[in-house]
Amino acid sequence: MTPIGLAVIGAGYWGPNLVRNAMATPELRLEWLCDLDEARARAVLGRYTTVRPTASYERVLEDPAVAAVAVATPARTHFELVRAALDAGKHVLVEKPLTPTLAEGAKLVALAEERGRVLMLDHTFCYTPVVERIRELIRSGEVGDVQFVDSVRINLGLVQQDVDVLWDLAPHDLSILDYVLPPGVVPVAVAAHASDPIGAGRPCLAYLTLWLSSGAIAHVHVNWLSPTKIRTTVIGGSRRTIVWDDVNPAQRLAVYDRGVDLSAAGEDERHAALISYRTGDVVVPALPEREALRGVMGEFAAAIREGRAPRTDGRSGLRVLALLEAAQESIRSDGRRIDLGGYTR
């Protein structure tokens, strides 16, 4: 089978990771690396390659050998770049967040559908072995009913120029939730608080609460100012509790048979309840070591080849944007609860 011609747009921090993984994917053939700073693109490619560096996006889009583009430029540029690529008949893989507003994202999703082109989000974490396993644990019923989610993603991060911490980091947690929650469980309301203690002009730390249709609460803490890196997600279930510590490769995932049970007391104490604590085994699942972006590239190529929606399609990007916009509205109104009427998965 002839490989699919690909161009990567953006050779900054993240773009080179797309380049490396595209080159390692036999179903793709990397044709171009485009960056406004052509010297940067050239430096990323090195000397011994047939991939061409360019500063001209038009040139890339005019090339009939290019069937698909992967956009790794700052969020504020996504709308124009993705629209131009779809207009030129290319399939698109775009970095998170899809666009800085839901309205722009919706236009791109509609355009991709109209043109019959694949629009895929690089929700990278959804392609990691650990998130795959968490999804299985939840969907197989092993965890039981999800009672709470608590996610912390904090470190001394790059204070971005065009997005705040919510739009930079929370797409990871929100896309993971979107992927792992059981079918039918959806966020129904959002509240968020944020602050900018260094005077950066945009929130550098944020706390986000999501009420789920099942009655559970999910909480996300994102922060660019923490001197220590913490990336922990705890998912408490009625049967098991999952602890994912992404900075601990020796025990990235642990499944605890430990928790609190509440059982009704006898007839005569109808209103009383007994609380009992379970302290069972802790299981540390063996997970394959696999780079998530290889999965992203493989899925992009397969979706194009098979003419189907990818696992993290444009609509998954829109669901993330809807939550981000609601959180932003809540931050502006001092943490008011914002109801998400009509949110579906």
Q: How far apart are the first and last CA of the chain?
A: 34
Residue 176: CB minimum distance to ligand NAD, A:
11
110-139: buried (b, 16+ CB within 10 Å) or exposed (e) per residue?
ebbeeeebbbbbbbbbbbbbbbbbbbebbe
Q: Single out the segment in contact with ligand NAD by CB under 6 A; choices: 7-15, 245-253, 258-266, 299-307.
A: 7-15
Q: For ligand NAD, which is the closer residue by CB, 98 or 243?
A: 98
321 binds ligand NAD (CB under 6 A): no
CA distance 44 to 107: 32
Interface residue with ligand NAD among 21, 54, 73, 241 (CB under 6 A) is 73
- CB 284 → ligand NAD: shortest distance, Å? 25
Residue closest to 319 by CA, chosen among 202, 162, 185: 185
Q: Which of 26, 37, 136, 201 binds ligand NAD (CB under 6 A)?
A: 37
The vertex-115 CA angle with 83 and 95, nearest 5°, equals 40
The nearest distance, CB 247 to ligand NAD, in angstroms, is 15
- Is 15 a residue that touches ligand NAD (CB under 6 A)? yes
Task: Give the interface size with ligand NAD as a residue count (CB under 6 A).
Answer: 23
Helices (H), 97-256: 102-115, 129-139, 165-180
Q: Are β-strands 187-195 and 338-339 bridged in parallel, bridged antiparallel, or unpaired?
A: antiparallel
Draw the binding track, 278-317, toward ligand NAD (x: CB under 6 A; -: no contact): ----------------------------------------
> What does the H/E/C string look like for 292-313?
HHHHHHHHHHHHHHHCCCCCCE
- Of 3, 12, 157, 182, the residue at the interface with ligand NAD (CB under 6 A) is 12
122 near ligand NAD, rule: CB under 6 A: yes
Stretch that binds ligand NAD, among 5-13, 85-93, 105-113, 229-237 (CB under 6 A): 5-13
Concatenated DSSP letters of 147-166: EEEEEEEEEE----SSS-HH
User: Do 236 and 219 form a contact (C-beta atoms < 8 A)?
Assistant: no
- 74 in contact with ligand NAD (CB under 6 A): yes
Instruction: Give the strand pairing for 205-212 and 253-264.
Output: unpaired
Single out the residue of 31, 35, 173, 178 in contact with ligand NAD (rule: CB under 6 A): 35
Nearer to ligand NAD, 93 or 322 (CB): 93
What are φ and ψ of residue 233, in 5° steps? -125, 125
How many separate helices (H) and strands (E) can be counted in the chain?
A: 9, 15
DSSP string, 13-71: SSHHHHHHHHHT-TTEEEEEEE-SSHHHHHHHH-SS-SPEEES-HHHHHH-TT--EEEE
Residue closer to ligand NAD (CB basis): 35 or 245: 35
Phi, psi of 85, deg, nearest 5: -65, -45
The one segment of 8-16, 25-33, 243-251, 271-279 that binds ligand NAD by CB under 6 A: 8-16
| Shortest-Cβ-distance residue relative to ligand NAD | 12
Q: Which of 32, 57, 79, 256 binds ligand NAD (CB under 6 A)?
A: 57
Could you say whether residue 77 binds ligand NAD (CB under 6 A)?
A: yes
Exactly one of 95, 245, 299, 325 binds ligand NAD (CB under 6 A); that residue is 95
**Least distance from ligand NAD to the Cβ atom of residue 38, Å:** 10
In the complex, the residues that contact ligand NAD under the rule CB under 6 A are: 9-15, 34-37, 40, 57, 72-75, 77, 81, 95-96, 122, 124
